[in-house]
Structure 1
Amino acid sequence: MTSPTAPGTPAGEEPQHRHGVGRHSAPGSTAGSHKKRSRVTFTQILGEILLTAGILFFLFAFYESYWTNIASGKAQNEANNQLQNQWDNERVNPRKKITPELGTAFARMYIPAFGSDFQFAIVEGTSDTDLEAGPGHYHDTQLPGEKGNFAVAGHRVGKGAPFNDLGNLRACDAVVVETQNAWNVYRVLPIDSFGEQRRAEAERCLTPEQIERVAHGDYSSISGRYITTPGDVNTISSLPGTDITTAGDEMESVMTMTTCHPQFSNAERMIVHAMLTETIPKNGSGEKPAALEEK
């Protein structure tokens, strides 16, 4: 006697299981696909890492570009107020040499090409704390208006970013430095020009003697703007580009500005050199340089 078969099942055939077909899973069954979906691939891991890195980079950029500006803006305002109070409380004496203390503001700088609202108090020193308040004076270099090299460092991104646009300066653009006793007008030296072209650029803003020195003399190798390495300390020498650190009366009065390059990196340094062309003593007349009105 044969075994009974399930209703509707032809004789001689095995009945199908109620919860599956045969003993093996058919292609596309849930068991096999579940194993494939649960497998984490290298591509997925890499994607997660890149996404996380992107978020962290964005947060860092936001912090550097925006949040630090708030703190530096407050520090700059305090430096400006301290400077103005100092000037108001001390009698102006054009012959008096003022030696600033580290961490204190002693001058203001203006770059008319960046707009009438561009002005920063310059503090003495280039430590991290000093530069958070604004541009900082290299302590061992000369002071504004003196023979030699008045050198200043500043951030390019975040912390107020006073030197963010240094790369936009052109030959003969004015950089005005105000001290307690005087206004000093510096002009950016010719950039990427040589020979007669360099001379022609110098003629637009320098004195006849300065033109000769910049075109063919001891200042002929000094470019108005260039990129160099962080260790190039000769950029702030009394005669830039040399190892001369002692200023002499025969030297011109130069201003040097340094900042990191490129943006969001400190791999290199951007350098800008300018030469003093005008000094206006503060004698109570209220006279200011016409250069402040330049665009």
Structure 2
Amino acid sequence: MGLLGEILLTLAVVCALYIAWQLWWTGVESEHTQLATRQSSSWTDPGNANGKVSIAHAQQGNPPQEPTSAKVGDLIAQLYIPRFGSAWSRNVVEGTTNEQLARHGVGRYTNTQMPGQVGNFAVAGHRAGYGEPLAHVDTFVEGDAIIVRTKDYWYVYHYTTKSIVLPTDIGVIAPNPTDPSAAAVKRMITLTTCEPRYSEATHRWISWGELDYWAKVSDGIPKELADSSGTNAVTFKEQNQGDVLTRLNSLRPVVMVLLLAYAVIYLAALAVWRYPALRAIRNGSKPRPDFSLYGAFYRHQSGIAPIRWLLLLILAVAAAAAMFEWLFPWVASNVPYLQLMSNYVSVQ
């Protein structure tokens, strides 16, 4: 019964790690790809004066179209939604295939309009996993800013309403989504994502917005991205930096470093202490325990108890990293049920 319990506990831990991989690590990988895309672009920081980012003047008249065309996978914009966090942004690329949504954040439906155009600039994004760019669409409040930055321009929309529809209802991304048979009369943005969030996506959550104004990136940032003191809360430069995990291209070096550290500590402890737990059992100073997978593994680590626990911790972290790097991507790509659930696409 003890052995069965250990096996079940191990399976539970592996399942929990799989969920963490699906909901968290795929997002880290997506962030890495988005960071690399931004760093390779020729986009400049918003205009500033005296070291402070200025508030861009709202421009009148018809907004310019940018870009005029794009190939699938091209970076066409960045999406800023203050409701989702002061530092929240995602890349917007051309195309809505699984590969684009998993790798690049948010994708534009190729048959819809470009930012600022009369019609419907429609994009799609995941709601769970892969950075979950549209996880919190249910928190939108009427009037919330939805801001699109292209290379040279800002397009500031405001949220108007939502709808939950079947995946077959493609009229929601039509140039005139309120009446797909009629000509477009407004400059709109549409965000589409899965509903419900954590199970099979039987429906689509649709969020609509309308354009308020446009501005030049060279003039600064929209007022909606400034804090109360008038300085910028989120800058393109800051987003290009990323954190330690985001800058990781692969967990392979982590696994190798951990295994090397394990070998060094194990051999050093072996030279000094050998196997005190096993020696105590053989000498009769400790009773022979019942068979246990975890117990046997612990006793066969060299060194005193703190060293053995450290060795086990290193191995556990290395095993988790190896599962994130190799096992979970494989099962998500090859096990039919997990394939359907995760829509996994490698971001390597």
TM interval, shorter chain, is 0.5 to 0.7
Query: Which residue number in structure 2 is paired with residue 290 of structure 1?
Result: 223
The runs of 5 or more residues in structure 1 that have no matched partner are 1-46, 89-93, 190-223
Cα distance in 2 between the residues matched to 1:233 and 1:141: 11
Cα distance in 1 between the residues matched to 2:27 and 2:131: 5
Decide whether the 8 Å contact of 1:123 with 1:136 is kept in 2.
yes
Cα distance in 1 between the residues matched to 2:156 and 2:187: 10
2:31 to 73, 80, 92: 73
CA positional deviation for 1:55: 6.5
CA positional deviation for 1:70: 2.1
Query: Which residue number in structure 2 is paired with residue 136 of structure 1?
Result: 107
1:63-107 deviations in Å (ceiling 9; x for gaps): 211221121111111222233x2569xxxxx57753121101111
The runs of 5 or more residues in structure 2 that have no matched partner are 46-63, 229-348
Query: Which residue number in structure 2 is paired with residue 229 of structure 1?
Result: 166
Distance 1:96 1:167, change over 3 A: closer
CA RMSD, aligned part only? Answer: 3.0
Cα distance in 1 between the residues matched to 2:131 and 2:207: 19
Cα distance in 2 between the residues matched to 1:241 and 1:59: 43
Matched residue SS, 1:146: coil
Distance 1:293 1:260, change over 3 A: same
Matched residue SS, 1:66: helix
CA positional deviation for 1:62: 2.1
1:98 to 68, 92, 98: 68
Distance 1:146 1:262, change over 3 A: same
Alignment of 1:1-295 (within 5 A): 58-83=16-41, 85=42, 97-132=67-102, 133-189=104-160, 224-244=161-181, 248=184, 251-265=185-199, 266-282=201-217, 284=218, 286-293=219-226
TM-score by length of 1: 0.62
Matched residue SS, 1:69: helix
Query: Which residue number in structure 2 is paired with residue 8 of structure 1?
Result: none
Cα distance in 2 between the residues matched to 1:62 and 1:95: 40
Bigger shift: 53-62 or 147-156?
Answer: 53-62
CA positional deviation for 1:252: 0.6
**Matched letter for residue 278 of structure 1:** Y
Percentage identity across paired residues of the two chains: 33
Cα distance in 2 between the residues matched to 1:268 and 1:52: 35
Decide whether the 8 Å contact of 2:67 with 2:114 is kept in 1.
no
Query: Which residue number in structure 2 is paired with residue 218 of structure 1?
Result: none
CA positional deviation for 1:121: 1.3
Runs of 4+ residues deviating >6 angstroms: 50-56
Cα distance in 2 between the residues matched to 1:158 and 1:114: 16
Structure 1 or 2: more helix by fraction: 2
Distance 1:95 1:254, change over 3 A: closer
CA positional deviation for 1:52: 9.7
Decide whether the 8 Å contact of 1:147 with 1:247 is kept in 2.
no
CA positional deviation for 1:228: 1.3
1:82-139 deviations in Å (ceiling 9; x for gaps): 33x2569xxxxx5775312110111111011222210111010001111011100001
Decide whether the 8 Å contact of 1:120 with 1:162 is kept in 2.
yes
1:203-251 deviations in Å (ceiling 9; x for gaps): xxxxxxxxxxxxxxxxxxxxx112111111011011114334x864xx1
Distance 1:184 1:267, change over 3 A: same
Matched residue SS, 2:123: strand
Cα distance in 2 between the residues matched to 1:124 and 1:87: 20
**Matched letter for residue 289 of structure 1:** P
